[in-house]
Amino acid sequence: MICDTGNSEFGHDVTVVAASRPFQVVLDFATGSLTPFSASFVRSLSDMAHAFEDQEAVARVLESGDDPVIYRSNYPDIPDEAGHLAFLTTIISPGTVGSEFYMTKGHHHCRDSAELYMGLSGQGIMIMESHGGDFSQQELVPSAPVYVPPGWAHRTVNTGSAPLTFLAAFFGDAGHDYSSMERKGGFSMRVHRGEDGPQLRRSATRDEAGAPL
Ligand code: S6P
Ligand code: ZN
């Protein structure tokens, strides 16, 4: 399995915090900022153009000269070692590409291990898919943490009209594997803006049994 081991794939300009000693960060629920000890990364549409289903819509946006920020994440520099507990905040902008809501790339963890998601502000949906192809969705809203069991790939989707902010905590040595889901043709279900609100639709890249087409 091709695997991005550790958390270093997140990293640019990490402000080092000595995580061998207790520390505290200030978390702003509205903006997702973590101060003072955090670095961040940004994913714009051009960084994840292939994640969206409607490639003509992607091309229209990018060819217009626009490259919207889909989401950004903030994180303290916690060692990617067993025993540590890493955490990030993520802020997904509101919006759609075609009718598909803005979302994260989504990943498995290299070492199957659980993760806890806590909504901070806004509203969204987590879509999750096991190695065997089982599918699950959970609302992501403040005050209702979502538990992601080991072995379930996860993607978060902003279904609201405001930014969706959330905190995720995972094992320091979990690592992030984006390519397994990409090789399958992405997640089997996608979240679109429907007439009566968010609508889950089967991905055009997967058949009814969830197999890649
Ligand atoms: C980390 C956790 C989240 C995501 C973040 C960005 O294990 O699941 O913090 O990293 O929401 O998503 P992605 O799929 O680009 O890593
Ligand atoms: Zn994760």
Give the range among 10-19, 126-135, 202-211 with minimum mean pLDDT. Answer: 10-19
Which of the listed residues 176, 179, 187 should we mutate to test ligand 1's pocket, taking the one with most ligand atoms within 8 A of CB?
A: 176
**Domain with 155 in it: what CATH number?**
2.60.120.10
> In this predicted structure, what is the pLDDT of residue 4?
57
> In this predicted structure, what is the pLDDT of residue 55?
96
Residues whose Cβ atom is located within 5 A of ion ligand 2: 115
d(CA 184, CA 181): 5
Ligand 1 within 6 A of CB of 104:
yes
Cβ burial, residue 12 (10 Å; 0-12/13-18/19+): exposed
Give the range among 76-80, 124-128, 155-159 with minimum mean pLDDT. Answer: 76-80
CA of 171 to the centre of ligand 1 (A): 13
Q: What is the mean pLDDT of the chain?
A: 91
Q: Report whether 70 contacts 28 (CB < 8 A).
A: no
State pTM to two decimals: 0.93
d(CA 90, CA 71): 7
Place of tokens 């549409």: 45
Residue 38 is encoded by which pair of tokens?
A: 């955090």
Domain for residue 179, yes or no?
Answer: yes
The count of other CB atoms within 10 Å of the CB of residue 143 is 7
- Domain containing 37 equals 8-202
CA dihedral 195, 122, 135, 172 (to 10 degrees): 160
Q: Which atom, in ligand 1's list, is nearest to the CA of 176?
A: 7
Residues paired with residue 88 on neighbouring β-strands, in sequence order: 168
CA of 167 to the centre of ligand 2 (A): 11
Ligand 1 within 6 A of CB of 108:
no
86-100 pLDDT tens trace = 999 999 999 999 999
Domain for residue 3, yes or no?
Answer: no
pLDDT at 190 over 80: yes
Ligand 1 within 6 A of CB of 106:
yes
- Give me the number of domains the chain comprises: 1
Q: Which atom, in ligand 1's list, is nearest to the CA of 88?
A: 9
Model confidence at 202, in pLDDT bands (50, 70, 90)?
Answer: very high
Q: Which of the 8 DSSP states describes residue 61? A: H
d(CA 110, CA 14): 22
pLDDT at 138 over 90: yes
CA of 209 to the centre of ligand 2 (A): 25
19-69 pLDDT tens trace = 778 888 999 999 999 998 778 999 999 999 999 999 999 999 999 999 999
Angle at 32 between CA 15 and CA 200, to 5 degrees: 125
Q: Which of the 8 DSSP states describes residue 20? A: T
> In this predicted structure, what is the pLDDT of residue 212?
73
Query: DSSP letters along 150-190, please?
Result: TTEEEEEEE-SSS-EEEEEEEETT--EE-HHHHHTTS-SEE
> In this predicted structure, what is the pLDDT of residue 119?
98
Q: Whose CA is nearest to atom 1 of ligand 1?
A: 168
Domain for residue 208, yes or no?
Answer: no
Which residue, 109, 115, 140, 118, is CA-closest to 127? Answer: 140
pLDDT at 192 over 50: yes
Average pLDDT over residues 13-24: 66
Domain for residue 109, yes or no?
Answer: yes
CA of 63 to the centre of ligand 2 (A): 31
Sequence-ordered list of residues with C-beta below 8 angstroms from that of 134, at least 6 positions apart, any chain: none
Any idea which ligand is nearest the CA of 106? 1
